Amino acid sequence: MSANLNVAIIQSNLVWENPVQNRINFGDKIENINHAVDVIVLPEMFTTGFTMNASVVAESMQGETVSWMKNLAAKTNAAITGSVVIKENNNYYNRLLFAKPNGDIEYYNKRHTFTLAGEHKVYTAGQKQKVIEYKGWKLATLICYDLRFPVWARNTQDYDVILYVANWPKRRVAAWDALLKARAIENMSYCIGVNRVGLDANNYDYSGHSAVYDVLGEKITSLPVEKEGIEIVEITRSHIEKNRKHLGFLNDKDSFNLIM
């Protein structure tokens, strides 16, 4: 069990529907990280941008991107995570992949597909929450639009970190900032949000605002907006335990059952 976890968040532009070039770009960024890290976080649909052309770009779980993630995780001795368009059993998923250095890979299918963009017409919604255990830490994994639905993210599983990868547009970035902070506060967990920058083929502009918040809702990162960047942040178990023990807010949470 690790007392601390070093997390690298990569805020990047994406090349539209070009998995090969995006893998090259992210590979270069990751290989230039000169600090030991435990987890590397990439944005939502990091190989393609937020596309509805699933039939054109979808890969399988035996495809190039999954292999690339596994190989890079082994090479860097760090888990690598981000979402990818995956086809499985004739369905398309916006799937967060979590590749571990030992070759294992876990995943979460986006629950809340973004109806405003027609994502629900193309991608099958996930039905299961996913908390990944890594180095003694519990990480709840979610994707973009999931951020607007606090019940789905409620900390009923005693997780330590809640992680969102996103393509969240600039025009609504105030909501991104506010909700990331809220998820940290209400769940007494670290909250990590990694968003892209740049303009996509649909002329949507993305301004980043990738950040990490501690369990009290304090922002502990300082990535620039509108620009590419990498920041490494150390999160500590003692911070979680101290504040949960002292404040005890999670002890008073409501009990409920999710109805799918």
Q: Is residue 257 part of a domain?
A: no
Residue 218 known to be catalytic: no
Compare 178 and 1 and report the one with higher pLDDT. 178
Q: What is the mean pLDDT of residues 43-71?
A: 98
Of residues 17, 44, 119, 186, which has the active-site annotation?
A: 44
User: What's the number of domains the chain is made of?
Assistant: 1
List phi, psi (to 5°) of 180.
-60, -45
Distance CA 176, CA 162 (A): 14
Tell me what pLDDT residue 76 has: 97
How far are the Cα atoms of 132, 154, 155 from residue 158, in angstroms, in the given order?
Answer: 12, 10, 6
User: From CA 67, how far away is CA 82, in angstroms rounded?
Assistant: 14
CA distance 88 to 194: 26
Total-model pTM: 0.97
Domain for residue 175, yes or no? yes
Query: Do strands 79-88 and 39-41 pair parallel, antiparallel, or not at all (unpaired)?
Result: parallel
The pair of three-digit structure tokens given for residue 235, joined into one six-digit string: 């999160």
45 Cα distance to chain centroid: 10
CATH number of the domain that residue 178 is part of = 3.60.110.10
pLDDT of residue 97: 99
Q: Which one of 17, 100, 144, 186 is the catalytic residue?
A: 144
Mean per-residue pLDDT over the chain, rounded = 97
Give 163-221 as a DSSP string. EEEE---GGGHHHHHHHHHHHHHHHTSEEEEEE-EEE-TT--EEE---EEE-TTS-B--
Residue 181 appears among annotated catalytic residues:
no
Which whole number is the average pLDDT over 71-95? 98
Q: Residue 15 has what pLDDT? A: 98
Secondary structure (3-state) at 21: helix
Q: Look at residue 31 and tell me if it is in a domain.
A: yes
Residue 64 is predicted with a pLDDT of: 98
The predicted pLDDT at position 95 comes to: 99
Q: What is the pLDDT of residue 38?
A: 98
Residue 80 resides in a domain: yes
Residue 260 lies in a domain: no
Q: Is residue 146 part of a domain?
A: yes
Sorted by sequence, the CB contacts under 8 Å of residue 119 that are 6+ apart come out as 52, 94, 113, 145
Residue 123 falls within a domain, yes or no? yes
Question: What confidence tier does 260 reach under pLDDT thresholds 50, 70, 90?
Answer: confident
> Is 170's pLDDT higher than 90?
yes
Confidence of residue 1 (pLDDT cuts 50, 70, 90): confident
- Residue 31 bears catalytic tag: no
Give the integer Cα–Cα distance in Å for 20 and 65.
9
CB 10, CB 50: distance < 8 Å:
no
Q: Which domain holds residue 142?
A: 4-252
Q: Identify the three-state secondary structure at position 12.
A: coil
Q: What is the mean pLDDT of residues 126-155?
A: 98
How far, in Å, CA of 213 to CA of 169, rounded? Answer: 20
197-210 pLDDT, tens digit per residue, is 999 999 999 999 99
- The predicted pLDDT at position 136 comes to 97
Candidate list 59, 70, 100, 110, residue with the active-site label: 110
